[in-house]
């Protein structure tokens, strides 16, 4: 869908995202976001996911390594998409809009 607006994509990529992507502040934000998510997960009433021992009981070492790698890539993808969407919202709608959400966190 966005490919229908190449001029918008060029501005978004060149002017909004390229100056900050993978910069030190970007990486600091990503690590802070990851830690915040992990803190939320730690408050779940029951453990989330599988322990390494549970995974190895049903998967080979190679499968566990592949799944771990895939989860790491997905985790990074979610961090990057979140930061990039906030950055684009700030550029298009202002800081206040980027700091608010129509979805309740409670």
Domain boundaries, the chain: 50-98
Q: Which residues contact 97 (CB under 8 A, 6 or more apart)?
A: 89, 90
Contact of 64 with 55, CB cutoff 8 Å: yes
**Residues 45-61: pLDDT tens digits?**
987 788 889 999 999 99
End-to-end CA distance of the chain: 32
pTM for the complete prediction?
A: 0.74
- How far apart CA 81 and CA 63 sit, in angstroms, is 27
Q: Is the pLDDT of residue 16 over 90?
A: no
72-87 tens-digit pLDDT: 999 999 999 999 988 8
Alpha helices in 43-98 (DSSP H): 52-58, 61-93, 95-98
């Amino acid at each position: 869908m966005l490919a229908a607006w190449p001029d918008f994509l060029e501005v978004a990529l060149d002017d909004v995202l390229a100056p900050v992507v993978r910069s030190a502040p970007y990486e600091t934000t990503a690590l802070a976001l990851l830690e915040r998510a992990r803190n939320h997960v730690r408050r779940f009433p029951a453990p989330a996911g599988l322990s390494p021992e549970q995974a190895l009981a049903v998967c080979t070492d190679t499968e566990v390594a592949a799944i771990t790698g895939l989860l790491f890539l997905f985790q990074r993808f979610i961090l990057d998409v979140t930061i990039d969407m906030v950055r684009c919202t700030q550029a298009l709608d202002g800081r206040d809009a980027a700091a608010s959400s129509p979805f309740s966190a409670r």
